[in-house]
Structure 1
Amino acid sequence: MFYFGSIIYIALFLINSIAILNEERFLARIGWSTAQIPPASSFNQPYDQSGYGGPQGDVPVKARMISLISAVRTLMRIPLIGVNLVIICYELILGG
């Protein structure tokens, strides 16, 4: 049976796997380094009247994935330590 705890474990494993990726050793080799993201447009651009996400504002999926990996590695590192400790203690005390 597929339980809610299984979903939490799967999400935790996926976030852990993203958090431990090394940018120089792994991500740069496959072309997913943060140094390869095109720079953001400057503030002196004319007003875009095509609406949010129009043809001028499209960001490639690869750039979004690189940004997501970078954000997870930056923001989730410390909270993941706590969550992992809680899960490990839970497993040791109650058994899974």
Structure 2
Amino acid sequence: MFGTIFQVSLLLINAIAILNEERFLARIGWVSASRLTREANPGFQQPYDQTGYAGQGQVDIGIKARMIELINAVRTLMRIPLIVINILVILYELAWG
């Protein structure tokens, strides 16, 4: 049971990790805020945030923005660990089926 849950979650994380921002996510309007800032301000002309880190002026972000941040975090942070975990799962399945 836990093995099946682990395999399903691993497949979902793999699916999130391989989403291409230019080919898929941009078409449906799920582009990260940093990408929009880079496209709007070429070079190093990025605006300065006056509110500070998690200041009182920060507005609560919606579900869509949180999903975009989750996709970007999975694609950035889980790339190397996913390679290792996938190799281990493949070797396990080959050895003990």
For Structure 1 versus Structure 2, the TM-score category normalised by the shorter chain is: 0.7 to 0.9
Q: 1:4 aligns with which of 2, 5, 23?
A: 2
The equivalences for 1:55-66 within 5 A come to 57-66=59-68
* Alignment partner, residue 50 of structure 2: 43
Letter in 1 for 2:73: A
Aligned ranges for residues 1-96 of structure 1 at < 5 Å?
3-34=1-32, 35-36=35-36, 42-44=49-51, 48=56, 57-95=59-97
Q: Unaligned stretches of 5+ in structure 1?
A: 49-54
TM-score (norm 2): 0.77
Distance 1:42 1:6, change over 3 A: same
Q: Distance in 2 between matches of 1:44 and 1:77?
A: 32
- Would the alpha carbon gap of residues 20 and 44 (structure 1) be closer, same or farther in structure 2, given more than 3 Å must change? closer
Q: CA RMSD in A?
A: 2.4
Indicate the structure (1 or 2) with the bigger Cα radius of gyration: 1
Q: Which residue of 1 aligns with 2:40?
A: none
Structure 1 residue runs of 4 or more that deviate by more than 6 Å after TM superposition: none
Between Structure 1 and Structure 2, the one with more helix by share is 2
Matched residue count: 85
Matched-pair contact (CA < 8 Å) for 2:51–2:58: no
Label 1:65 to 1:44 Cα distance change in 2 as closer, same or farther (>3 A). Answer: closer
In structure 2, the partner of 1:51 is none
